[in-house]
Chains A and B, each alone.
Chain A
Amino acid sequence: MLESGSIVPYDGNGNGASQENHSGSLSSGYMVRHGFLRTPRIQISWGTGNHLLVSYLPYSEEQNEAGKIMQVQLGPADEEGQDGLESRRLAASSLSFFIELQSRKRHYADGSLEAGSTSIWWENVLKYSRDISKMLGSSRRPISHYRSDTTKASKTSAIMRAIWDMLEIFYVDKDAEAWFPERLVDWVVTHGPVLSKKDSSLTCKLVDIKWRLATRQFPEEESDYWDGMASALAVGWFDFVVTFLRMHGSYRHDQIDKRQTENGLVEAVAVLVSKMPRLRPSLPAASPGVTYSFKPEFAKEWERWRIQVTKLDRSSFWNECYNQKTIHGLKKLLAILQGNVEVLAGSTSHWLELLTAQYLHVRPFAVATEGLVALASTCKELKRTSTSEELEELILAIFGDNTEVVIAKCVTLFEPWMMAHMIELLTAKSVHVENLLRKERDVHGGISLEELYRLSYAQSLASHPLTWQLAPVYLAACPGQGLGMLQTLVLKLPLEDERGLALKALDLCRIYDLQGIAASICRKVGVHSWKHGRIGAGIVWLQRAGDKRLLSALSDQLLASVSAGSTWGHVQTFEQIQGLVELLGMEFQATDGLSILHRYRNFKSAMQNIWDLRSKDADRQKLNGAGRQAVDCLFELLKTGITPKRLWISILHDTVELLEWPAQVLLNAGETNTLLNSLQDLRLTKLWNGVDNLELSGPNVDRVRLALATNLGRSFLQT
């Protein structure tokens, strides 16, 4: 053990002064004192997080042999790493969106929406969905403490965001039905990389080409220039196509060959691409195309544009162009614009990309999800992908509005976070799904699926010391078992480790109205403080808990230590206790068990007062007044049932001075008799109950007897 205040060398590992052992799977063992056991015991219980507590309580004749408790870390110590960080970040940042949506939901249910706000529920959910999607997208932390990105964690969160956005398209956004093909295009542009396991997705390929060719003088001479452009055009990267077409070598002025015609053709295709009519409310900045949101108008324009494409395809200028590569490439682009399925299939790699290309170039008028599943399976056949991964199955289930499968897949694919939050998306507009998720089921103990997923998420939060405070919010949204679990959570907190934690827990109890739990927290902390020698804190906490039984046990111990010399702890001086009593104040007196201490303090200070006055040679009048006061305090103390009998002897012993009061009788005959009766009472108690620890003989008791008898005589004489 380190000596108090010693300076220890700094070792740079944070182990300078602590006895904690950070390494290995066995960590921080500590000792515990326990009562007498007949047989040695081993106990195993759950600790916090991934720890198992193994306690060994040995059999011992001597009580001072301590039991030992070891914490065993289950699983590898660093199993969380990046995943843990990422899911913690997710949990903390999604909280406010969840709270906001829940409060909107309550308002919505009450029908108390303020004027001007939206009255359509799915629009609320859409806002929530967009917020969370944005949050998922801003995944990278600005602080550079942890290098190593593109890990499993970031991959998972990318997949999560992809599925989240897709759920939004199909389950939340009613407006999306009108321009569904374009939504799909946007989705593939944003989430393309998650589709393939290796980094070989179309998006990656195109990004690679973009970087490689951007600095070339004649990019068309590269082999993948035209292929890349065809792919980009197929899946809707129009800005990429237009930019790269205009980088074509024929635009350069300093050329020997005559390339004007060639250049004219390239420019014509570029113009056609940038003039393509799109059925969507708006386009992202710098993206080519002309938007239409009114369908008949779009149809008209699209027809006219298509005619222009065909015209160019059949124009005679092709014969005047001598660069076969360019002709071939441009023709391919035109074929894509005309919706040639074979070329589309050749230019895409994943079936979902092909599906998107189909919608974009072949059936731009498709309404919502009509025939989507059929088309998707056609695309799969074209791409010859027979086996599909879990993620693809999930996407197909979303396409097919197969909610049960969606739920089942998400449960296996994602963390509990996803389930707890995506329920809101699924139930946004479909009554059928709402029935599915919100119906209470007996199989799940009378709770709905929605609640089940929230509970399991809350459980995963509660098990971690950095996230447990998030759990109550989700538990509060669980009408069935939320409250019970919240109580368990608060009760199981490791309060002993940290002063602030108990206060935080009490604050939770205040918010969720858990008075009973609050009392037991106070009791726990109180007993812990008391057992660790912090009497004052113990009393304060036990008072807060309102536990009279423990308080009187504590005061008994405290009193015993004062009255009968110290057998416990370091508390020896009465002055310290006096200070404590003063500090604790009036409430302290009101508490049953502690009132003895208060009265005893009053008696003692009255006696002290007498001694003080005596040493100052105060006048007799004053001294007598003080003496009388002490007698009053004495009888307060001896009122029936307040002071335990074992303390009487020592109190009576203090009384001798009052009994032998010079020149005046302080206690009258009646009072003296009461004291005599008390002494008799003690004797009887000893006789009847066979109490051994009462010392009723010896010079001290004799002195008390003598003083009492003398005083009785004096009082008779005086009256």
Chain B
Amino acid sequence: MAAAKMESWRIADDRYVDAVRWLPSVSPYHAPFMAVGLWDYDRKKTVMELCSIEQDEQSSLPITEVHHSFFLPSRVTEMKTSLLPSGKSMVVASSRTGDISVLLVSEVVGAQSSPTPVICAALHKGEVSGLDLEPSSQDCVTVGEDGKINVVKVTQSQLQPKCLFDNSGLMSFSAVCWASSAEFVTGSVGSTLQWWDQRRPDGPVSQSPAKWANFTGGINCIDVHPSRKHLCVVGGSEGSVYAWDLRWQQAPIPLNGRALQNGRGHILGDSLIGSEVWEVKYDPLLQLAGHMTETGKIPPVMMCSEDGILAVLDSGETFELLSEDCAINTFDIHPESSSNVICGLEFQGFVYLRRST
């Protein structure tokens, strides 16, 4: 059902893909554009590229065409994109040295003179482990292993960083995601989720129960459902993917993991994916297709893992979309046309996936 029909192509690149994100497009007639954070080992540089996916004239296979490229201070840890009311898109990339780089791109990417990124330095001590952009206010929240939470206000002319919370490393954050224009969720190395409100900066508003069933290791990624704000989904070690519903805080719902359990705590058996889950995202494609009827159900979630699997988890079933022979470190679903998916691989580039609705 989930993987009814799809095509996938490998797009080779000799650099290491640290992050890849679609740029929101204004018109559906343009070729899909993406922002890529690459590590060029041979030149010891980090490059951010804005490129489109075009069709090669000879082979009619998808290829990337680079429109702009920039050098960044150090390797990209996380990247997010968002569409501004002015029609421009914003790309924010965080780095291993605690900086973020912000880039404003005008509507038609190819047509303009090269934009210049603005760098906001030393937000964190050590690497920025999580980053998210709020689509309406353009606030950018960053978290780090140093236990800081920063909110950077991005305005047309400048960046205004503000340290919202600092626990001096008593707790290390590993992921963050906005829930509304004031609230966001963080994940910590100790596998705890915390719900924060910008208006109450002295501590988290609520947090997940201390003991999560079978949850070892940390949280690698979080996503909050765009319309059902109380539902967030997290991915962590050993294939664990959990949903956490703010309305039933005490019982995280396992979607995938070493011992997947049913509602009454019975173990359903080993799941397909047992390695690190690097990224999770709600899959809008299947929701569009009318899978939102059941109210108590967790919407379908797409995930990628260290053992090279891209899969959709839906109603207790796992639908494998891709199975690569190396890790899939990052992926993104196109915000407007959700049939387009791009994945960043451990070796040699990307996989471009086009699903049919």
Residues of chain A at the chain B interface (Cβ within 8 Å):
1-10, 12-20, 22, 77-78, 80-81, 84-85, 88-89, 92-93, 95-96, 99, 141-143, 145-146, 465-467, 469-470, 497-500, 503-504, 506-507, 510-511, 529, 532-537, 539-541, 544, 569-571, 576-577, 579-580, 582-587
- Residues of A within 8 Å of B64, CB to CB, are 143
Of all chain B residues, the one with the shortest Cβ separation from A19 is B97
11 new A-B contacts, CB < 8 A, other than A529-B145, A569-B168, are A4-B161, A5-B163, A12-B70, A143-B64, A466-B16, A497-B96, A499-B127, A580-B170, A582-B210, A584-B210, A585-B210
CA distance A88 to B346 in the complex (A): 12
* Among B14, B71, B237, residue most surrounded by chain A Cβ atoms (within 10 Å): B14
Q: Is B316 in the interface zone, CB < 8 Å from A?
A: no
A7-B118, A17-B119, A503-B237 known; A583-B190 Cβ under 8 A: yes
- Residues of B within 8 Å of A77, CB to CB, are 44
Is the pair A534, B306 in contact by a Cβ cutoff of 8 Å?
A: no
A12-B70, A507-B275, A579-B171 known; A533-B347 Cβ under 8 A: no
A7-B121, A142-B61, A504-B327 known; A534-B14 Cβ under 8 A: no
Is the pair B126, A577 in contact by a Cβ cutoff of 8 Å?
A: no
B38 to chain A, nearest CB (A): 10
A144 to chain B, nearest CB (A): 9
Cross-chain contact of B171 among A88, A143, A466, A536 (Cβ < 8 A):
A536
A142-B61, A469-B326, A579-B167 known; A536-B72 Cβ under 8 A: no
- Residues of B within 8 Å of A497, CB to CB, are 96
Q: Is B238 in the interface zone, CB < 8 Å from A?
A: yes
10 A-B pairs with least C-beta separation: A585-B210, A14-B71, A5-B161, A537-B172, A17-B121, A92-B347, A536-B171, A534-B169, A570-B168, A18-B73
B221 to chain A, nearest CB (A): 11
In B52-110, the 8 Å CB interface with A consists of 56, 59, 61, 63-64, 66, 70-74, 95-97, 99, 101
B151 to chain A, nearest CB (A): 11
Of all chain A residues, the one with the shortest Cβ separation from B209 is A585
Cross-chain contact of B12 among A142, A498, A539, A570 (Cβ < 8 A):
A142
Of all chain B residues, the one with the shortest Cβ separation from A558 is B170
Of all chain B residues, the one with the shortest Cβ separation from A78 is B42
Is the pair A535, B119 in contact by a Cβ cutoff of 8 Å?
A: no
Interface of chain B, helix or strand or loop or mixed? loop
What 1/0 flags go to B180-216 for Cβ under 8 Å of A? 0000000011111000000000010001011100001
Is the pair A534, B123 in contact by a Cβ cutoff of 8 Å?
A: no
A17-B99, A583-B190 known; A534-B147 Cβ under 8 A: yes
Q: Total number of A-B contacts with CB less than 8 angstroms?
A: 219
* Among A2, A18, A529, A587, residue most surrounded by chain B Cβ atoms (within 10 Å): A18
Q: Is B335 in the interface zone, CB < 8 Å from A?
A: no
Cross-chain contact of A4 among B119, B123, B217, B237 (Cβ < 8 A):
B123
Is the pair B170, A17 in contact by a Cβ cutoff of 8 Å?
A: no
CA distance A571 to B216 in the complex (A): 27
CA distance A2 to B171 in the complex (A): 24
Is the pair B97, A17 in contact by a Cβ cutoff of 8 Å?
A: yes
CA distance A99 to B168 in the complex (A): 46
* Among A10, A20, A467, A532, residue most surrounded by chain B Cβ atoms (within 10 Å): A10
Is the pair B99, A16 in contact by a Cβ cutoff of 8 Å?
A: yes
Is the pair B41, A466 in contact by a Cβ cutoff of 8 Å?
A: yes
A503-B276, A504-B276, A586-B210 known; A536-B147 Cβ under 8 A: yes
In B124-180, the 8 Å CB interface with A consists of 125-127, 129, 145-147, 150, 152, 158-159, 161-163, 167-172, 174
- Residues of A within 8 Å of B159, CB to CB, are 7
A5-B163, A143-B64 known; A540-B117 Cβ under 8 A: no
Cross-chain contact of A533 among B61, B129, B152, B169 (Cβ < 8 A):
B169
CA distance A587 to B213 in the complex (A): 12
- Residues of A within 8 Å of B116, CB to CB, are 10
CA distance A569 to B163 in the complex (A): 19
Q: Is B325 in the interface zone, CB < 8 Å from A?
A: yes
Q: Is B8 in the interface zone, CB < 8 Å from A?
A: no
- Residues of A within 8 Å of B117, CB to CB, are 10
Is the pair A95, B325 in contact by a Cβ cutoff of 8 Å?
A: yes
What 1/0 flags go to B273-308 for Cβ under 8 Å of A? 011101000000000000000000000000000110
Of all chain B residues, the one with the shortest Cβ separation from A17 is B121
A12-B70, A89-B348 known; A529-B172 Cβ under 8 A: yes
CA distance A469 to B345 in the complex (A): 12
A617 to chain B, nearest CB (A): 26
Q: Is B218 in the interface zone, CB < 8 Å from A?
A: yes
Cross-chain contact of A544 among B121, B174, B216, B275 (Cβ < 8 A):
B216
Is the pair A5, B120 in contact by a Cβ cutoff of 8 Å?
A: yes
B109 to chain A, nearest CB (A): 18
**Would you mind naming 13 contact pairs between A and B with Cβ atoms under 8 Å apart?**
A5-B150, A8-B120, A142-B56, A497-B96, A507-B306, A536-B167, A537-B145, A537-B169, A540-B189, A571-B170, A576-B168, A577-B170, A586-B210
- Residues of B within 8 Å of A9, CB to CB, are 119
CA distance A711 to B174 in the complex (A): 50
Q: Is B122 in the interface zone, CB < 8 Å from A?
A: yes
CA distance A7 to B238 in the complex (A): 39
CA distance A504 to B163 in the complex (A): 31
Of all chain B residues, the one with the shortest Cβ separation from A92 is B347
* Among A77, A99, A499, residue most surrounded by chain B Cβ atoms (within 10 Å): A499
Of all chain A residues, the one with the shortest Cβ separation from B71 is A14
Cross-chain contact of A587 among B44, B161, B211 (Cβ < 8 A):
B211
Cross-chain contact of A89 among B14, B44, B189 (Cβ < 8 A):
B14
A571-B168, A576-B167, A583-B207 known; A14-B45 Cβ under 8 A: yes
* Among A5, A96, A582, residue most surrounded by chain B Cβ atoms (within 10 Å): A5
A130 to chain B, nearest CB (A): 19
Is the pair A93, B169 in contact by a Cβ cutoff of 8 Å?
A: no
Is the pair B174, A499 in contact by a Cβ cutoff of 8 Å?
A: yes
CA distance A253 to B11 in the complex (A): 52
A503-B237, A504-B306, A536-B147 known; A583-B127 Cβ under 8 A: no
- Residues of A within 8 Å of B147, CB to CB, are 534, 536
CA distance A569 to B152 in the complex (A): 26
A4-B163, A8-B121, A466-B347 known; A533-B217 Cβ under 8 A: no
* Among B12, B163, B172, B209, residue most surrounded by chain A Cβ atoms (within 10 Å): B172
- Residues of B within 8 Å of A499, CB to CB, are 127, 129, 145, 174
Q: Is B256 in the interface zone, CB < 8 Å from A?
A: no
B53 to chain A, nearest CB (A): 12
- Residues of B within 8 Å of A541, CB to CB, are 189
- Residues of A within 8 Å of B261, CB to CB, are none
Of all chain B residues, the one with the shortest Cβ separation from A575 is B203
Cross-chain contact of B122 among A2, A84, A85, A570 (Cβ < 8 A):
A2
Cross-chain contact of A7 among B12, B63, B74, B158 (Cβ < 8 A):
B158
CA distance A8 to B158 in the complex (A): 11
Cross-chain contact of A16 among B47, B73, B169, B278 (Cβ < 8 A):
B73
Of all chain B residues, the one with the shortest Cβ separation from A504 is B306
CA distance A332 to B109 in the complex (A): 63
A157 to chain B, nearest CB (A): 15
Cross-chain contact of A80 among B42, B46, B218 (Cβ < 8 A):
B42
B63 to chain A, nearest CB (A): 6
Is the pair B170, A535 in contact by a Cβ cutoff of 8 Å?
A: yes
Q: Is B340 in the interface zone, CB < 8 Å from A?
A: no
CA distance A62 to B86 in the complex (A): 58
- Residues of A within 8 Å of B74, CB to CB, are 14, 17-18, 20
- Residues of A within 8 Å of B211, CB to CB, are 585-587
Q: Is B220 in the interface zone, CB < 8 Å from A?
A: yes
CA distance A15 to B44 in the complex (A): 12
What 1/0 flags go to B226-238 for Cβ under 8 Å of A? 0000000000011
Is the pair B119, A7 in contact by a Cβ cutoff of 8 Å?
A: yes
Is the pair A510, B146 in contact by a Cβ cutoff of 8 Å?
A: no
A15 to chain B, nearest CB (A): 7
B45 to chain A, nearest CB (A): 5
Cross-chain contact of B42 among A84, A93, A506, A539 (Cβ < 8 A):
A84
